[in-house]
Structure 1
Amino acid sequence: MTSESSLTFSDDAFVGGLSNRLSTQYRHRRAVLDLVDNLHSHGLQGQLDLPQIAVVGSQSVGKSSLIESISGITLPRAKGTCTRCPIECRLSRTDSPWSCHVYLRLSTQMGEIPFGPAIFDKSEVQDRIRRAQLAILNPSKPSADFLGILGDTDGAITNQMSFSSDLVSVRISGKEVDDLSFVDLPGIIASVREGGNEGDIEEVKNLVMNIIKRPSCLILLVVSCETDLENQGARRLAKQVDPSGKRTIPVLTKPDRIAAGEHTTWVGLLSNEQERFRHGWHCVKQANQQQLDEGISWQQARDAELDFFETTAPWIGLDENVKSRLGTQFLTDSLGKILFELICKRLPDIFAEVERKVSRVNEDLSKFPKKPTGDPIMTIHNMVELFKKDVELLVKGRPNAGKAGLIQSVRRSKEAFREEVFKQAPDFKPFDKPTRLGQMFAQPESAEDVVDTDEEALEPQGRRNKANVVYLDEVLERTRDAITRELPNHNPYAVSEYFIARFTAKWPNPAQKLFESMKRQFLKELKALITTHFSNFTTGGLQDAILRIVTRQLEACSNQAQKKMQECIALEHEEPATVNEHYLADYKRKYQARYSATRHLHKQRGANLERFIKDEFRDTNVMADAVHNLHQMGFEGIDKDKLLCLLPPDEADEAIEIMSEVRAYYQVAFKRFVDNIPMILDFELLKGFNRTISNVLFKELEMSGKDADMRSSGYLEEDPTMVRRREALEQDLQRLEAALADLQNIPGFNSSGAQEGDEEEGNVDLAE
């Protein structure tokens, strides 16, 4: 709905504001202002703290009249709230005839949307802005529809939104136009009309706060002189975000409506005494309703305003400093100067921030795969090949992965497997099982207590499983019970077979645990690789297809590994056998010496013999003399183990013979087993998968034959969420790079903040 009465403008009358065409700084200042306007056009105000002037006021304080006086256009008028979305006004003085362009800036779209053709008649601007605001408030409908019948009247449709943070941008240029930019915000609501939405109050407040809370936002606070200052909600919001008043520029309106006797209060504010602001208070007087009805021109309104302040008390009697802030012309000049100086001060920081954001967005984009292009079959082929290379590297081992790497983790599992099998070794005790509690606490040292620390550890360290303990009397009893046709002094081989089978029977459990651990870790790593390579193609099913194929192939390799592992275990259980007879004999000699020593200590714990067993005679004269004497008697190569053989014979020697033989064989078989099982699993499970997965993938994905191209295209359909995120980043990058190019092309500016040839010093420091 258009207003019935408003200011009229002559083309040559509306001149003022910041720009002086004779100034040497004109081009520089125009470029600086255009730069910030362009940054807003790029939609970067949400990412950068851009300097701008935001016009804020409560309802009916004369905010629209002030903007009309500054901009030279007429805004839509209606009962209640006129402005329902931010309206940006960009004023630019040029040598061209007056013109106006209207754009929509939507948060859901990149760039600005031109709204209708250029306007060359000022009387058409009001209706165009009204239609643009309707388009903003009804986002589900095509904006162009509101240029037609749909936008003819405000009541043609029910608006989908009461207010919006999307913006109408009005670009005005001409030789009679000031150089200034600002954004008009919806008026602060104190209450809603009957049937209105109470939520509108908070919505408008939040909309305004989101803009004026930015540190580089200059707040043009419009205050009406006909309403008590404390009751104007916009003032409270301004104080909330700018308590020190460093970036708030308050302007009084309607000074002609000040009640008799109340001028002192308002003049005190204007003198910046009662409520101080860095830039001081301004005061303007706009045309009243009668003048508007009579069609007063812009120049006549300016003349009337000037006449009012020069002839009316108390304004006529104010000092010159205060008078310099009376009138729209002085306000416009001051706003332009403050804005320009703030922009110049902020430019180095804006430049640096844009550079950082460009770098950050490029980094984020690098984490996304590029949109698939070209032949879909070849695209999938290349993706599978890259996946295969990573699988190969995974199986080979990645040193940079640290302890979390697959092969590093498998290595720890292998070590745990070895230790578990080692701890299952028979724990032979060459003495009878204790029958009384006192005997249990007074047991002699066992074989592992006399191991030479310079030799290989022949027994597991730490606590032993009681189930693995075999006492001398058990071996003797089983030997006696097993004798059939053997000659005297010949032990039944069946006894050794029994004990070997008894302890190797436990080997399948740790072998199975190793298999399951390796399979579990491998599958976890494979799933991670699948996510890395194919997670962007969940929509088309490529990731799920790859996962199914990989899982099936891993299961096939697992079955083969299980089969080979069971064959290895079966061989160990078939019968005791080894061709490493020299290792077996060497281990048997060592264990026999230890068991014999332990047995002798059990029977006779002589102090010197105990010292000898513990190797305490090493490097002593006693040992040297003994070895020397034996050498003189013709015994060569005598060492401790051979000296232990000189211990007197025992009735339990036959049992110790069996113990030594069984324990020696276990040691030989254990070493063989803990090598073979990991090698089988490595070859059949890990390397087997690596050898076969490439061919299986291409076959199962059906990358050739009928409809292969269509299937491949379907596989490559991308995740919509990922696509949106990538496109948003690409749009951010496009905006930021355009902004960076604009920043680099400002005449007289470098990124360090120095302004070449700048004759004025900015005095705006919002950080002070």
Structure 2
Amino acid sequence: MELRLIESPETWSCQVSLRKEYDENEKHLSNPIETKFGGPIDDPDKVELMARRAQKALLNPITKSNEYINWDFKDKDDSQLNNLKFTKNVVCIEIKGSDVPNLSLIDLPGIIRHTEKIEDKKFIPLTEELVKEYIKNEKSIIIATISCKDEIDNQAVVTLAKEADPLGVRTLGVLTKPEMIEKGTHNIWLRIMRGEAHQLELGYYVVKNPTKVQRAENIKSEEARLIENEFFEQEEPWNSFYLRERIGVKNLQNKLSELLIEAIKRGLPDIRKNVEDKLNKTFQDLGKLPIQLSDSPRIELFRMVKNCSKIIKEKTTCSNDQTELWKLLNDQFAQFKEEFCALRPVFLIRTSFIGRPRDETFDILEDFIENRKNNATARTMIQENQVKWEKPAMNCLNAVYEIMIKSVCETIETTFSRFPGLVGRMEYKVRTWLEECKKQTIDQINFMYKMERTTYPFTLDKHRMTVIKKEYLNSLHRTVRNENRNPTETLEVMALVMAYLKISIKRYTDVVSIGFRKGSGYPRVP
């Protein structure tokens, strides 16, 4: 049960509500539901009955709660008729008035250790789990209600409070039933009240509440407080106890109100930060709202198309820190280059070679048993390697196409989100245009591919060709020297092929990649 006390200039009033935090299967709801149970109450003596009715409603979730608003509890075995014997859902009581202190309390169920029926044993861990769940919050104050009828060490609430608050900095002890203390044992409880035993930073208070008989007779709050005052003024040793400010419900109430105010003050920095964060989030959300539409559809359509074009241009030109698109494209270009590097020929210089499959290698020693000419052999090797160039280029083109489609369509959906019908039309137009760009790029790839394959191996960069060939040749000589072989003519061909492929592959991948970026500008190959 949750009790919310609110100081207000209005006349005294009370509103009982039901807060459902768990469903029928005791699973926690992501969004708890709080609903009013009955109307406002203006008589304090009617609150207890309405609270019992609210508990009845929560314990019978299959029945509409409104059916219990006027429940009379005439049946002595009424509690045995409930669908549930325990629930984690909460009865909320909100009280307002001029003499009401600002205070919020949660009355947790008593911790049980034994049950009359075996089937009710399941409620023992449930009640303990519920108590632990509430008191583990480090910002809450634990009010440990300790009965003077039993020894303090035997009371479960003390153990749970120590587990949740080992240093005792947020636990306040409240001794109840002081009239049940046996004669000659008062000193045990007085030592606790003085802080000499079971010390708590917030200390202890002692109160006397109405007995069961008095509650059954519907004793009023004012009368209960008078009886309490008479007890502490007349009974020994309470009438001579010097810590008078820690005796009675009224003093406890004032202390709790004081602790609440202190807790609020301590939490003000966090509250202020949370408010500022939410305010900033609100401003950000407001900034994301679309601007107000004008009265001219044509102007609005032109504005949205222009804005969409502007965003796409920023993405494709990396303006305003829009680099995400080019990160994806560059990853594809890097993969494109890696695929070409993997196409370089592998030459066998030994009969036992573990590596590429046979049809992807050139056995130079076997080639030259037939005395092929160097230039013809090199040209054949180069052309056989170039056959494989088309596939990685097309793979890269398809990947770039998908990236562009996704990026442009996302921009369209964002820009035209207020007009779903227009989104589909714009996406169709863009897909058609990008498909045409893709076809043009395919033509460019085919043009470059045919140009590389149908012409004799050629480059104007003869100096670089010579340097690279020499580097390969030196490396090959070192390799075959370890094998006790020196096929000079063969090594010349190998170095020539590797040097030319290095230059031509770089040329081809660069030009094809530029073609991907431009999307047009190369003549069509018939």
* TM-score by shorter chain over 0.5: yes
CA contact (8 A) 1:163 1:204 kept: no
Q: Which of these residues, 327, 330, 333, is aligned with residue 408 of structure 1? A: 330
For residue 383 of structure 2, what is the aligned residue in structure 1? 504
Instruction: Give matches, 1:302-701, under 5 Å.
Output: 302-318=225-241, 320-321=242-243, 323-356=244-277, 358-359=279-280, 395-396=316-317, 401=323, 405-413=327-335, 415-416=337-338, 467=362, 477-478=371-372, 499-520=378-399, 523=402, 526-527=405-406, 561-562=441-442, 564-576=444-456, 583=460, 673-674=508-509, 676-684=511-519
Q: State the alpha-carbon separation in 1 of the partners of residues 493 and 408 from structure 2.
A: 53
Correspondence 1:101 to 2:15 = yes
- SS of the aligned residue for 1:182 comes to strand
CA contact (8 A) 1:218 1:249 kept: yes
For residue 54 of structure 2, what is the aligned residue in structure 1? 132
Cα pair distance change 1:202/1:385, threshold 3 Å: farther
The 1-side partners of 2:413 and 2:247 are apart by 67
Return the structure number with greater relative CO, CA threshold 8 A, min gap 6. 1
Q: 1:508 to 1:549 in 2, by over 3 A?
A: farther
Q: Which residue of 1 is the match for residue 97 of structure 2?
A: 173
Task: Give the 3 Å change call, closer, same or farther, for CA 284–155 of structure 1 in structure 2.
Answer: closer
The correspondence of residues 12-51 of structure 1 with structure 2, limited to 5 A, is none
Amino acid at match of 2:42: F
Answer whether contact 1:188 1:201 (CA < 8 A) is retained.
yes
> 5+ unaligned residues in a row in structure 2: which ranges?
22-29, 351-359, 478-487, 522-526
Match for 1:249: what amino acid? Answer: L
Cα 1:355/1:297, change in 2 over 3 Å: same
Does the residue aligned with 1:244 lie in a helix, a strand or coil?
Answer: coil
* Residues 211/568 of structure 1: CA separation in 2 closer, same or farther (3 Å cut): same
Q: CA deviation at 1:223?
A: 1.0
1:241 aligns to 2:164 (yes or no): yes
* In 2: Cα distance, 1:549 partner to 1:151 partner: 72
CA RMSD of aligned residues (A): 5.6
Question: Using the alignment, how far apart are the partners of 1:160 and 1:389 within structure 2?
Answer: 63
Moved more, 540-549 or 207-216: 540-549
Cα shift at 1:229: 1.7
Q: Tell me whether 1:87 sits opposite 2:8 in the alignment.
A: no
Letter in 1 for 2:271: I
Distance 1:410 1:210 in 2: 52
Residue type of the alignment partner of 2:4: C
**Please, what TM-score do these two structures have when normalized by structure 2?**
0.68
Instruction: Tell me if the contact between 2:232 and 2:239 (Cα under 8 Å) persists in the aligned partners.
Output: yes
Match of 1:258 in 2: 181
CA separation of 1:367/1:162 partners in 2, compared to 1, >3 Å: closer, same or farther? farther
- 2:353 maps to which residue? none
SS at match of 2:267: helix
Secondary structure, counterpart of 1:287 in structure 2: coil
- Of the structure 1 ranges 145-154 and 155-164, higher mean CA displacement relative to structure 2 is found in 145-154
Amino acid at match of 1:101: Q
Alpha-carbon distance between aligned partners in 2 of 1:380 and 1:139, rounded to the nearest angstrom: 54
In the alignment, is residue 221 of structure 1 matched against residue 144 of structure 2?
A: yes
| Counterpart contact for 2:381–2:497, Cα < 8 Å | no
> CA 1:391/1:414 → structure 2, altered by over 3 Å: closer, same or farther?
farther
Cα gap change, 1:573/1:310 in structure 2, threshold over 3 Å: closer, same or farther? closer
* Cα 1:148/1:348, change in 2 over 3 Å: same
TM-score by length of 1: 0.50
Gaps of 5+ in 1: 1-85, 428-433, 436-464, 480-494, 602-651, 689-768
Secondary structure of the 2:225 match is helix
Q: What is the rounded CA distance, in whole Å, between the counterparts of 2:504 and 2:170 in structure 1?
A: 86
What is the aligned length? 479
- Using a 3 Å threshold, how does the CA distance of structure 1 residues 288 and 544 change in structure 2: closer, same or farther? same
CA contact 1:414–1:514 (8 Å) conserved in 2: yes
C-alpha distance after superposition, 1:229-269 (max 9, x if no partner)? 22221121111112222222211111111233332322222
Which residue in the other structure is 1:764 paired with?
Answer: none
SS state of the match for residue 210, structure 2? coil
- Per the alignment, in what secondary structure is the counterpart of residue 507 of structure 1? helix
**Greater alpha carbon shift after TM alignment, 348-357 vs 229-238:** 348-357
Does structure 1 conserve the Cα–Cα contact (< 8 Å) formed by 2:382 and 2:497?
A: no
**Paired residue secondary structure (1:324):** helix
Q: Percent identity between the aligned chains?
A: 24
Whose Rg is larger?
A: 1
- Show CA shifts across 1:50-82 (max 9, x none): xxxxxxxxxxxxxxxxxxxxxxxxxxxxxxxxx
Contact conserved, 2:144 with 2:171, CA < 8 A, in 1?
A: yes
